Chain A
Amino acid sequence: LGIDLTTLGLNLNSADNLHKTFGSPWSDEPAKGDPDFNVPQCYLIK
């Protein structure tokens, strides 16, 4: 009968995208540590 997919740790009703905090297929915790952000190169003042 399959599984209750709400038990996989993903907030399927979230208004935000899930992929931003998708940690890994093996964990039901959102991504930990520093969120993924990228500072544009030009921000790194020479």
Chain B
Amino acid sequence: SEDPAGFRDQVSILFAEWYRICELPGANDAAFNHFILQLHQNGLLKGDDMTDRFFRLLTEISVAHCLSSEVINSGALQSPQQIQNLSFLAIDIYAKLVFSILKGSGKTALLSRILAVTVRFIQKDAEEKKGSFNPRPYFRLFINWLPDLGSLEPIVDGANFQILTAFANAFHALHPLKIPAFSYAWLELVSHRSFMPKMLTGNSQKGWPYIQRLLVDMFQFMEPFLRNAELGPPVHFLYKGTLRVLLVLLHDFPEFLCDYHFTFCDVIPPSCIQMRNIILSAFPRNMRLPDPSTPNLKIDLLAEINQSPRILSEVDGALKSKQMKADVDEYLKTRQQGSSFLADLKQKLLLPPSEAASAGTRYNVPLINSLVLYVGMQAIQQLQARSPHAQSTANTVTLAVFLVGAALDIFQTLIVELDTEGRYLFLNAVANQLRYPNTHTHYFSFVLLYLFAESTQEIIQEQITRVLLERLIVNRPHPWGLLITFIELIKNPRYNFWNRSFIRCAPDIERLFESVSRSCG
């Protein structure tokens, strides 16, 4: 509904008054507080509809002022690359007003309200302006707020965290799939040193799910564009920026990447091997990884190999959403030979044709990922249940027990029944568990090697090799469990690797394997 008559003028007069106070030399808190008291007395800060109108108009005035400064420059011939000089004076003054209001009140509810007004304003502006939307005024607004508000004295316990989550929710409401024209500014704000690290430090990791959700927002936006090997300059620029953010996370917060690897692998396309390797290479900072090329390395003697990794993602989410979990549990428990469970499996992993086109694959990749990891986790649990005393490692539980089991039936059915694409996605789901030393790495490494040894079709052995190799020939980093598995495959005569014809299927492939065998010692 329309603003009350004259309200807009009233707000711009107040804003001009605030600007004058700020520009006074040696302006002090008393003048600020007096002005803010007036706003309270005018009923503008109650947190009601008038409050929303007040801040929306202030946003409009300060953004318009900022963009009007751009108009002046456009007289000069403007090549797209030429950077507009914008004046952020009004934006900074407005940001300071919000900060001054909140500093005194300590009420995060008002901040949430102001952020909601700001988000709606940006969404509307982006929808109206489309290609001519300019994200920079809004970027500057948040750049003002994040360091100041994010470090406000916690007047009430946990106030800081509430402020940070208010920003996290605002960023989620502005994510690239909603406002693609805000994508670059958005990633810079989400990864800002006054925000992301604070969300990932302290507060007993309560901030982790928010950052995970924001990263998923980023990956989901890029996913369709990253399926192609060739990226246009805008996408490549965004991709490189995301790599930088992931490297900061890998270096400073590896446990965060470890614990959410499953979710991230769902939204990173299989073709983004290096980006996925960054996530899979993360390992807890207190862990020391033995060099994979150590001769006769006995990984099942490593203490960590018996510890299950922490997984914060909802592993069985996709299984549940497709009503498959009960059938899987039933089969794992009873291993009913007669049941049609195994026979129907492949069909259930396919996407409806209507979704296949936009998904870029005929298969439901998150469902395959969920099935593989969930089944593996159940198998590991069964193993640990059978030999609680020795904290199961494969060499304490006879290999036979380990390898037979319902889980292996499922994996063997998939590896034989699926077509090349399906098998590739299945093997990817398995290879995504080859990370730092833990029970999953151990188990899925066995599964891959077992499927290689037991399969009668060379195409399967070739595809297993390919899935491992394509993750190794990309630039570093390479996950520890991946190296361990590949070295075992090429060194252990049980797999008869060097007599497989496919390693000589072309001269450059032959050379590739020779160089690999040299580098793996």
Contacts and interface: CB of A to CB of B under 8 A. Distances in A.
A32 interface: no
B512 to A, nearest CB: 12
A19 B191 CA distance: 9
Contact of A25 (B187, B197, B477): B187
Contact of B242 (A10, A12, A25, A36): A25
Contacts of A38: 147, 151
Interface residues of B, number: 33
Contacts of A10: 244, 247-248, 251
Contacts of A2: 273-275, 277, 474-475
Contacts of B250: 12
Contact of A5 (B187, B193, B243): B243
A10 B187 CA distance: 17
Contact of B193 (A8, A19, A28, A41): A19
A41 B191 CA distance: 26
B120 interface: no
Nearest to B150: A38
B475 A25 contact: no
Does more than half of chain B's interface fall in helix, strand or loop, or is it mixed? helix
Given A12-B251, A19-B197, A31-B193, A25 B241 contact: yes
Contacts of B477: 5
B203 to A, nearest CB: 16
A46 to B, nearest CB: 9
A8 B475 contact: no
Contact of B147 (A5, A12, A36): A36
Interface residues of A, number: 25
A18 B188 contact: no
Contacts of B48: none
Interface in A1-46: 1-5, 8-10, 12, 14, 17-22, 24-26, 28, 31, 36, 38, 40-41
A11 B188 CA distance: 19
Given A10-B247, A19-B193, A40-B153, A26 B241 contact: yes
A4 B197 CA distance: 25
A40 B160 CA distance: 13
B180 to A, nearest CB: 16
B251 A17 contact: yes
Given A19-B193, A38-B151, A26 B251 contact: no
Contact of A3 (B153, B191, B475): B475
B147 A25 contact: no
B463 interface: no
A35 to B, nearest CB: 9
A5 B147 CA distance: 29
A28 B245 CA distance: 12
Interface in B234-252: 237, 240-245, 247-248, 250-252
A24 B278 CA distance: 19
A26 B239 CA distance: 10
Contact of B247 (A5, A20, A21, A40): A5
Contacts of B187: 25
B302 interface: no
A42 to B, nearest CB: 8
B130 interface: no
B448 interface: no
A40 B153 CA distance: 7
A25 B274 contact: no
Among B151, B193, B474, which residue has the most Cβ atoms of chain A within 10 A?
B193
A19 B248 contact: yes
A26 B153 contact: no
Contact of B240 (A8, A17, A20, A31): A8
A2 B278 CA distance: 11
Q: Which of A2, A8, A41 has the most CB of B within 10 A?
A: A2
B476 interface: yes
Contacts of B196: 19
A1 B193 contact: no
A17 to B, nearest CB: 5
Rank and list the top 5 A-B pairs by shortest CB-CB distance, nearest first: A2-B274, A25-B241, A2-B475, A2-B474, A38-B151
21 contacts: A1-B274, A1-B474, A1-B475, A2-B273, A3-B274, A4-B475, A5-B477, A8-B240, A9-B244, A18-B247, A19-B196, A19-B248, A20-B197, A21-B193, A24-B241, A25-B188, A25-B191, A25-B240, A25-B241, A25-B242, A31-B193
Interface of B: 147, 151, 153, 184, 187-188, 191, 193-194, 196-197, 237, 240-245, 247-248, 250-252, 273-275, 277-278, 473-477
Given A3-B243, A8-B240, 13 more contacts: A2-B275, A2-B474, A5-B243, A10-B251, A17-B251, A18-B247, A22-B193, A22-B248, A24-B191, A25-B191, A26-B184, A26-B241, A31-B193
